[in-house]
Structure 1
Amino acid sequence: MRKKIKNQSESGRINRHYRIRKDMSGVKDKPRLVVHRSSKNIYVQLIDDLSGTTLLSVSTGEKKFKKDCAWGGNVEAAKKLGSYLFSEAKKKGIEQVVFDRGGYLYHGRVKALADAAREAGLKF
C-alpha cells in the first residue's frame, strides 16, 4: 500500500521508487544496495529480499564515520561512504550488489556514492 504524502516532490520520489522496486530484488549472494538521503546524512543498506533481512547498514551518521567527515550530507561524504561501504561489505563476503537508488535521481550524492563504491571494487 502506498503512503499518502503531502509534499509533492517526496510523493514523486516514492512513486518512482515503487516503479523501480517492483522489478528488482536482492538475494544473499547479490543483495540489494538501497540508498536513502536526507539533508544531513546518507544511509545505505544491503538487503536480502528473500529472507527479508538487512545484511549490512552504514551511514554518514555513524561514530566511526564522523571522525573522517564533519558533515555527512555532501558529495565528499558520499564518496567516503562508498569506499567505506565496500570495506564493510568485503568483511561480510559481499562483492556484487543490485543498485537501488530509492527513487532519487542518479545525480550528485547518489552518483558519487555509486562511483566511489565501484572504484573501491564493488560490482553492480
Structure 2
Amino acid sequence: MASRKEALARRANRVRRHLKSVANGRPRLSVHRSSKNIYAQVIDDVAGKTLAAASTLDKDLRGSLKTGADTAAAALVGKLVAERASKAGVTEVVFDRGAFIYHGRIKALADAAREGGLTF
C-alpha cells in the first residue's frame, strides 16, 4: 500500500498530465496549500518560467491578514495573483489544483482569480 505522500504525488501527477494535454500553450495557475499558508503562481511550462506569483507570506498581504489559512486569505491571494498576471500580459490560464480537492481555500482562490480577470 502506498504511503500518503506517494498517493498525493501520484494524484498531482495525474492532474498535471491531464492539464498538459488540454493546455494548448496556456500558462498554468498552480496552487499549493499548507496548513498555515496558501501559494499561487502562473507558470509558463514551455519556457519554464514563473510569470507571476503571490502567497499569504507576501508583504502586501501579511499585515492585513489575521491568518494565512482561511478562505478570506485565499481570496486575497487569488486577486493578487490575477492582478500580477494581467500586468505580465496573461489573461488565459489552466487551473492546476495539484492533489488538492476543488473546495474551500482552493475554490476561494480560483473564484477570486476569475473575478480578478483570469479566465479558466
How would you bin the TM-score normalised by the shorter chain? 0.7 to 0.9
Q: Of 16, 24, 34, which residue of structure 1 is paired with 2:19?
A: 24
Q: Structure 1 residue 67 and structure 2 residue 75: aligned?
A: no
> Is the 8 Å Cα contact of residues 39 and 77 (structure 2) preserved in structure 1?
no
Using the size of structure 2 for normalisation, the TM-score is: 0.88
Q: Of 32, 37, 46, which residue of structure 2 is paired with 1:36?
A: 32
Distance, in Å, in 1 between the alignment partners of 2:81 and 2:50 is 14
Distance, in Å, in 1 between the alignment partners of 2:30 and 2:13 is 13
Distance, in Å, in 1 between the alignment partners of 2:90 and 2:98 is 20
Structure-1 residue corresponding to 2:48: 52
Deviation at 1:68, TM superposition (A): 2.2
User: Which structure has the highest helix share of the two?
Assistant: 2
Q: Of 7, 12, 20, which residue of structure 2 is paired with 1:12?
A: 7
Q: Which amino acid aligns with 2:12?
A: H
Distance, in Å, in 1 between the alignment partners of 2:7 and 2:106 is 17
CA RMSD of aligned residues (A): 1.8
Deviation at 1:64, TM superposition (A): 1.2
Distance, in Å, in 2 between the alignment partners of 1:80 and 1:14 is 27
Query: Mind listing any 5+ residue stretches in structure 2 that lack a counterpart?
Result: none
> Is the 8 Å Cα contact of residues 86 and 117 (structure 2) preserved in structure 1?
no
Instruction: Spell out, residue by residue over 1:40-61, the C-alpha distance to the aligned partner (whole angstroms, 9 max, x if none).
Output: 1101111111111111121111
Moved over 3 A (4+): none
Structure-2 residue corresponding to 1:77: 73
Query: Mind listing any 5+ residue stretches in structure 1 that lack a counterpart?
Result: none
Structure-2 residue corresponding to 1:92: 88
Distance, in Å, in 2 between the alignment partners of 1:86 and 1:73 is 19
Aligned length: 117
Distance, in Å, in 2 between the alignment partners of 1:92 and 1:54 is 10
| Overall identity of the aligned pairs, in % | 46
